[in-house]
Each structure stands twice: as C-alpha cells, then as structure tokens.
Structure 1
Amino acid sequence: MGGEGFMMHANKSLKENRSLLAKRKDKQNLQGSYAKVKLAKFPKATSEQLEKIRKRMQAENRRNKIILIISFALISIVVTSFIFLYLN
C-alpha cells in the first residue's frame, strides 16, 4: 500500500521535534532579563549639525536621482535602437 514512507518520515519528524523540545525545556535557554543591560548614551546633535546632515542627504539623493534618470534613458535608447535594427 502506498504512503508507508511518508508516514514513517512523519513519525520520525515528530519524534525528533519532541526530543528537541525536551532539550530546550531542560536548559531554559529562552529565559532571561534585560535588567543588567546598560543603554548607550549618545550626544545630542546641534541644529547646525542637523542642517549639515540634511543638506548632505539632499545632495546625495539628488545625485542618485540624476544617475537613475541617465541610466534609464541610456537603457531605453539602447533597447529602442536594437528594436529598430531588428525590424529593418
């Protein structure tokens, strides 16, 4: 009768999962507390630093947008030229 290998694999998988669960319960690896964790303190940014970061990010975004537009235009020109060459 078909399906014996499937049932054997299912039973084997269940048995392995049960053994893993027993190991996890014994060691209690998932329990813990964050009471002793020290949080890092970062300095506050001044308004001049924030403005400088803002301008740098705007320039970077502008540069990335220009690169994207140029690359899209070049790719579309190449694809269009191949289509015209193929049709002629």
Structure 2
Amino acid sequence: MGLSLQDDGEICINSMQCSSKCCQHDTILGIARCTHKAIENSECSPQTVYGVYYRCPCERGLSCEGDKTILGAITNTNYGICLDVGRSKQ
C-alpha cells in the first residue's frame, strides 16, 4: 500500500504530502493546503516554517529574487518575486 500525495486544495501538514511539493498557509493559525508552485512574477518564498510555506517556491526554471537577509528570514518577510534569471540576463 503506497502513500498517495495530496492534490491542490487538500489540507496538508507538510509540503512532502503534496504532489506540488508546496503546502501553504496565509497565517500561522490558518489551515494549510496544497497548492501549485509560484509562477513568473508571483510572490515566492525560498524558506519553509516546519515544511509549510507562506508563499510557495517558484516553478522549475525560475528563481525567487528577494530579501535574503537574516532579518528577513527571522521575521518571515523574505518573500521575493519569481523571475526567469536566464531570460533577464540576455
């Protein structure tokens, strides 16, 4: 009997439960749900808090460019914007 991954919209406790690999909640007391990874020009977060994101990481090929300071990590405001770094360097 294998483990099945949760689909987008289903309640989760950790990102590893989600087929998208992103379990996200809006507030610390909010219910976390699986959701898709962030698309280009969307808010993102490179960090999780115990496996749950406030903003999902970027889709493959995109980079989360934003506040990477230690203060941003402590206050959980280290959100960025998903950018196609390869395209922007051309």
TM-score bracket for this pair, using the shorter chain length: under 0.3
Structure number with bigger Rg: 1
Give the TM-score of the pair, scaled to structure 2. 0.20
Instruction: Name the one with the larger strand percent.
Output: 2
Q: Relative contact order, CA 8 A, sep 6+: which one is greater? A: 2
* TM superposition score normalised by structure 1: 0.20
